[in-house]
Structure formats: structure tokens, C-alpha cells
Copies of this chain bind each other. A is one copy, B any other.
Amino acid sequence: MVNENQHTGSGSSSSKSDGGSSSGSESSKDSSRCSTPVLDADRHERLREKMRRRQDSGDKWFSLEFFPPRTANAAVNLISRFDRMGAGGPLFIDVTWHPAGDPGSDKETSSMIIANTAVNYCGLETILHMTCCNQTKDDITAHLQKAKRLGLKNIMALRGDPAGEEWEEEVDGFNYAVDLVKHIRNEFDDYFDICVAGYPKGHPEAESYEADLKHLKEKVFAGADFIITQLFFRSETFLKFMKDCQAIGITCPIIPGIFPIQGYHSLRQLVKLSKLEVPQEIKDVIEPIKDNDAAIRNYGVELAVSMCRELLDSGMVHGLHFYTLNREVATTEVLKRLGIWKEDPRRPLPWAVSAHPKRRVEDVRPIFWASRPKSYIYRTQEWDDFPNGRWGNSSSPAFGELKDYYLFYLKSKSPREELLKMWGEELTGEESVFEVFTCYISGEPNKNGYKVTCMPWNDDPLATETNLLKEQLEKVNRRGILTINSQPNINGKPSTDPIVGWGPSGGYVFQKAYLEFFASSEIVTALLKVLKKYELRVNYHIVNVKGQNITNAPDLQPNAVTWGIFPGREIIQPTVVDPVSFLYWKDEAFALWIEQWAKLYEEESPSRMIIQYIHDNYYLVNLVDNDFPLENCLWQVVDDTFELLN
């Protein structure tokens, strides 16, 4: 996922970004000579610094608010939404805090866990909301400690709604958001960036608009870094509020909260909760069309776009915060029409980065998890050190086991029934497995008329890059070379190439051709004979589920298979074939046959036994063609293998 703006410009002092003693990660070692902040200032800056840089560069931005889902299934969907909406390039997202929903727990629907997933698995800069009323100091400290441990760096400090109807002051507790701000600064120094809420019309419970502004100033002076406002219906409301804030000495960024009206009922409910009044001119439009959802949404988009334009044109607004209500269409539409949705987000690296502060230097990964980045992050979450510059020696920290296939951020988006339609209600032999692989590659429907849009090793349709190899891949899968990962060789394409490009512009990217597949021992025997004549041109690793391992790799050194050369930078090599990691990946790759596929069928059913047979008897093979400037020889290797078999 890409949530970072690539047009970082030169001259910013990104390497100085965490000069503060308590800021940034606890565990990243700044003393290491290798830890240059290399490609992407955004990965090294705090949120408030990102905002400042955007303001300086005049680069407008947006952010997105979500609430935690109610069910595990909804969580799976929300995470896909994070991935999709993250691709548009929000500066951050925020996750609201629902005291009734056990928000600090480890439940998959808790605010804490959703925010954790956004940061670590979707790579999104994230603000976690936190309310303070009706909670002890110790509870709050525990929540904050947990947030820090999970890699969360930003808190939206709120009072929260009173427990009963009426507000009662608590002795020894937190009564106002300002108490929470002070508590965070007292207990965590400058670790967190703190956001507070602003009310353009004044807080409904405040004595007056002026009194409310005074409270806001107190929150800022207690240590808040920026303000996000409650929604409003007219740009003048916000602009007046902003001027009033500045007049009393509030100088931090104030971000307008934008609520694109998406439906009659959601508007009414929100208005009731926020005690706002909908202007008459809006009511006049909406009332007559209140049963026509599409019409209301169109109107809402129109209204939001024109209000946002006024805000941006005022020159006082640099970023817009959207209340999405966990929906995509209206917000995306507004952002696209405003021209601040990134249509073709540049990838900082070929893989989806994580936003955990301890991973901010990470810029090398084994290629094996290319289609399963969340699994990779999960299995390396306990690491204290992340490879930077080089993958390094093979005595690196071990990978955690992946037994938790049920975890919502690792689960397939498709339910069992859909998977059965794609992969076959009933398998008749190894060939029917070959067919599934072939259909996934070709995009053609299977014999029952269903398209195969995901595989156990890849929950998404074929990547554009893999499409470059489609014809050959189709051919070899049909014959039992069951490919799960591949990349073409690239000899210096511009880093802006829409398919294989990554990193800042002005650079060149390179790849060695890579092919990874399952194959029967018969095929492997022939393959090994063929590989002899390629000597060191082709490096191979061949392993079965028992761990019998055949390789011609010199020592146990990693082989860089993707790298980039950029103006004024050191070389970046984001993916490697690491022999040691391959043995960890092997366990996962073989287990996916069983966990994701075989278990769709009854125990001892023929279908299940076919998958079990493949699991027990096939080999997992990876091949690298080291001669990247020449034509990829791996297809020739495969052709020779088939020829030998005939």
C-alpha cells in the first residue's frame, strides 16, 4: 500500500527528523551506519512534520476517518478498503474509539486492533482516537502503552460522551480532553503526535463560542500538535473559525472535517449526535429527494466538492479530513474531482511497506512473500532489527510460525463457497489442479464457468507485472509447472514505468528473472539434468515438504533480484532470494495447500486426497536467471525440461 506522497522535493532535512530523544521508535538503531533514510522522507517523519512539509511545498493532502467494524467479516472488508483507499494516497487515516465496544482490547473489531492493522499491515499513517471520561488514569496509560507497543504514533485526544444523559464532573478522573492531552505529555513526553477536536460552531455543551475557543487554546497549549474539526456545512463557518483561532494565538494546523452527505438517514443521525443544524438551503434540496439515495449522494458529492474548492482556494487550507462512514464511493469521488486522489500512486518500493516506526528503515525483503506481504509482516513482527541496504548474513532472526491462518488480516476475502466454485467442487486428479492454476493465469473461466480470481498463495488477481509473462506462464502451468510467483527480467527501465517502476523519479530499475513453482518429482528430476548446463547462470533452490533441499547457490548468500539506481542516492535492492528464508517460506507455501485448499473438502474425500498428495510429493522450486541483460533463459530451461520428459 502506498500512502506516501512521492513528490518530496529536495533539501528537506529528513535525516534529522527524529532528533528528539523520546521520539520515533524504541528499537531502531540510529547508530548503524546503514540506516540512511534513503528513499522516502515520509517513512521517517512524524505526522506533524509531514503536514508541515506539505504546507511548505503547497502540496494539498487529504485524510480519512473510519470507525471500527462490528463483525469479523466486516473487519476483513474494512482492511481491503484500507488497502484500496490507501492507494489514493491519504496523509493519514484515523480510527474512532467506541467505549462500548471494548476499544482497547485484542478483539479483531476493537479500535486498537483495527488501528494496529492499518499501521502495520496496510502501511498507513494512523491516528487512534481515545476518549477519557469514565476511565481511570491507569486504564488510559495502559491503552497508550499498548498503542505505542503496536507502533501507533498518533492519538486523537477526546473527552468522549458522558455515561449518562447528563455530564457529571469526576473527582480524580479525566473530565476534559485537555486532561488527556496533559496526561499523554506527562507520561509519554513527545512520543505521540496529539490531535484534538475543534468545533467550528462551538461545542454544543460549551457556555459560548468564545468559551469553546478558549478551551481549544488550552488543549493546544497543553501539547496538541494539530486540530481536526467537527463537520460543518458552509466554508465560511470554517474560515471564520480558523481566523478566530488564529486571533487568540492558535497557530497549529487546523484541518477541516468534511462530511459528504451520503444519504438521508445517515445525515439525520449524525446531525442528531453532533447537535448541529443543517442549513435551510440544504434541507430544501434534500427533503424532496429523501428516498432517492443516488440523488442524495450526487448532491452530497457536489456540495462537498464545491465547499472543498472554496476552502482550498482560500489559501488557508492545506489538507482536508473526510468522515467516510466506512464507505468508499462518495469520498473517493470527491477526492478525484478535487484532483487530490493519486490516480497512479508511485510505489516507494516494490512491496507494501509497514508504517511501524521500528520498520521505517526496512528496505529489503525476500521475494517469496511478494503476494503475501501481510503474512511476512506478521511473521517478522517480533524482529527488533530490519534489513536495510542488504539482507545480510543468513544467521538473521528467525521467522515466527504462521499457524494463525484465521487472522482476519491474513484471511482470504472470498468465502468458502466462492473458493469451491473457483478451485473446483470436486477434483478428479492432478490435472484438475493444473487447470485451476492455468485459469488463474489466463483469466479464462474454468469448466464450470467461474473465473479464478485468487489462489491460496495470492488473494488478488494476477499483478500487471506478471501479465508480462502470461502466455508462457499459461503454457507451463497447463503441463504441471504450477507457478506461484514470478517476475520478468528488467534491464534498466525508468523508475516511473507504470508497470515495473518504483522509487523516486529520475531513476532506473532492474530485475533478474524469477520463477517459483510447485512440480512433481518427475519434473524436478528432468529439471535438474537441464540445469546442469546452465551452471551459475541459473541459481536454483528446490525443496520438498520434508525439507530435502537441493541448491547450487554459493554459500548461503542472498541473491538480489530487484534493485534501483536513483539520482543522488545509494543503490536500493528491495528484494532478494534468500536461501535461509526460503526454508521458512517453504513451510508456509506447502501449508497453504492444506489450510486453504484441502480443507475445503471433506476428510478422506478424493479431492482432499489429491491436494494432500501434491502437498506430500511435489517440490517447491525457485529459479533466478542471473544474466539480467540477456533474454530470460528460464523459459528455455522449462522447455528443455519438458522436452527431456517426452
Contacts and interface: CB of A to CB of B under 8 A. Distances in A.
A11 interface: yes
Interface string A546-572: 000000111111111001011111110
B626 A570 contact: no
Interface string A4-16: 0000001111110
Given A33-B387, A34-B390, A508 B629 contact: yes
Interface in A1-57: 10-15, 32-38
A536 B568 contact: yes
A646 interface: no
Nearest to A385: B33
Contact of A570 (B33, B566, B569, B576): B576
A393 B18 CA distance: 14
Nearest to A512: B565
Task: Output the residue of A510, A537, A626 with the most chain B CB within 10 A.
Answer: A626
A89 to B, nearest CB: 21
A517 interface: no
A5 to B, nearest CB: 15
Contact of A569 (B389, B392, B510, B559): B559
A394 B569 contact: no
A131 interface: no
Nearest to A41: B555
Contacts of A563: 565, 571
Contact of A567 (B35, B387, B567, B626): B626
Given A554-B568, A567-B537, A567-B626, A393 B33 contact: yes
Contacts of A11: 554-555
A164 interface: no
Interface in A170-210: none
A539 interface: yes
A555 B10 contact: yes
Contacts of A396: 33
A537 B393 contact: no
A284 to B, nearest CB: 53
A13 B555 contact: yes
A506 B558 CA distance: 16
B391 A570 contact: yes
Given A32-B392, A554-B11, A565-B628, A573 B570 contact: yes
A385 B32 CA distance: 9
A389 B361 CA distance: 14
Contact of A555 (B12, B389, B559): B12
A33 B539 contact: no
B570 A559 contact: yes
A345 interface: no
Contacts of A508: 628-629
Task: Output the residue of A388, A555, A629 with the most chain B CB within 10 A.
Answer: A555
Interface in A226-248: none
B391 A10 contact: no
B568 A571 contact: no
A491 interface: yes
A567 B577 CA distance: 11
A160 interface: no
A99 interface: no
Interface in A384-405: 385, 387-396
A299 B438 CA distance: 75
Interface in A518-560: 536-537, 539, 552-560
A456 interface: no
A492 interface: yes
A393 B539 contact: no
B559 A390 contact: no
A560 B567 contact: no
A104 to B, nearest CB: 34
Nearest to A396: B33
A384 to B, nearest CB: 11
A15 B394 contact: yes
A107 to B, nearest CB: 35
A536 to B, nearest CB: 5
Contacts of A536: 10, 506, 567-568
A38 B573 CA distance: 15
Contact of A559 (B35, B394, B568): B568
A506 B626 contact: yes
A246 B566 CA distance: 59
A389 B390 CA distance: 6
A510 B390 contact: no
Interface string A54-73: 00000000000000000000
Interface string A362-389: 0000000000000000000000010111
B34 A389 contact: yes
Contacts of A626: 506, 566-568
Contacts of A35: 392-393
Contacts of A38: 557
A100 B315 CA distance: 84
A565 B510 CA distance: 10
Contacts of A37: 393, 555
Contact of A33 (B390, B566, B629): B390
Interface of A: 10-15, 32-38, 385, 387-396, 491-492, 506, 508, 510, 536-537, 539, 552-560, 563, 565-571, 573, 576, 624, 626, 628-629
User: Would you list the 10 A-B pairs with minimal beta carbon distance, nearest first?
Assistant: A33-B392, A567-B626, A389-B390, A10-B554, A389-B389, A571-B573, A36-B393, A536-B567, A559-B568, A560-B570
21 contacts: A10-B552, A12-B555, A13-B555, A33-B390, A33-B391, A35-B392, A36-B391, A36-B392, A36-B393, A36-B557, A38-B557, A389-B389, A389-B392, A508-B628, A536-B568, A557-B570, A558-B569, A559-B567, A566-B626, A568-B626, A571-B573
